[in-house]
Structure 1
């Protein structure tokens, strides 16, 4: 699935899930003291945490949705990075390949990379494959040029593998920034409501309280 399609799908799934959580879980009538008599959801029952969260307004649902998106992206990245590492632990994989290279068994080292799979193995395999090509009999390539060719192969493979490792990280950063702004907006709205309630109750001057 393409990155944009994944994020768009995740957005709608997260927002629908957040709305259901907001209305059915946080907004459960059993959490409110006034629902049985007035049919409203304004008075939390005995300081019920879920009811207190619900009366925070629709922004709470938006924050829940963004939280779901962040968790989903983190899980997706964790699984992808674990896959990129390959089947065996990296230290054990490196030790096996180094031992095979020292023994002159380059073909076995390449086969080990094929079995390992993942981004790390792909980069190492590209280096070994290019090394075999430049050191082939009759190639006539100097040692320094051989090293340059191997480094170029590694860089080319890294250019292909890096986008896969960085996938959805920009989306994660954007979601985090938006969630922060939404949280601040909710704080401002809450302060406005508090001063409005104080003014309606005949409390001291709201401007004086603000300063």
Structure 2
């Protein structure tokens, strides 16, 4: 399995920074609570300093969504949605230890982080523009068709594992109790994004190693010159 961005994504978004972690052998029996609490405390400090929408990380995604014809106040990137929920509820819902860790880290950095069950992805996975014949399964089970030209995560079977780029993942490849092998993706567009994405994923790799003894996360930083991550499985 390979993960990559299509050449036109790199060409259209020259400030894009991206990286992936490939992790084998996770379970739902870990307890990364200390790391989750630490990240949530950091995210609360961001919110206390001013509105989330003013953060450069989120402003960059808002500009990008607007340029793609996606209304940024209707369809927010995942990290902005997490921060808004944290600001409203004071915490984030607990779903699965790995998802909880990724969500908290995403909120703390204000950078989107996606966690996908690799066994649910058919073949290679590419961030690309939709043809319009792909299928996207919502969390509720409804099947949608991405709009032609919309940026999606597409596999070789025509499944869209995310719509509107970093807005929302699909229900097809969400992390479940039985999930064992995971792909974690982080992307950003703001000034300094390359260093921030690498720092975020490096910290997450350390957290994963502590919470799931025996796992060895494999980090790949993607660039236009090295746009493909070769993954096991």
Q: TM-score range by the shorter chain?
A: under 0.3
Point out the structure with the larger helix share.
Answer: 1
If asked which structure has higher relative contact order (CA below 8 Å, sep 6+), I would say 2
Determine which structure has more spread, i.e. the larger CA radius of gyration.
1
Higher normalized strand content (fraction of residues) = 2
Which TM-score applies when normalising by structure 2? 0.21
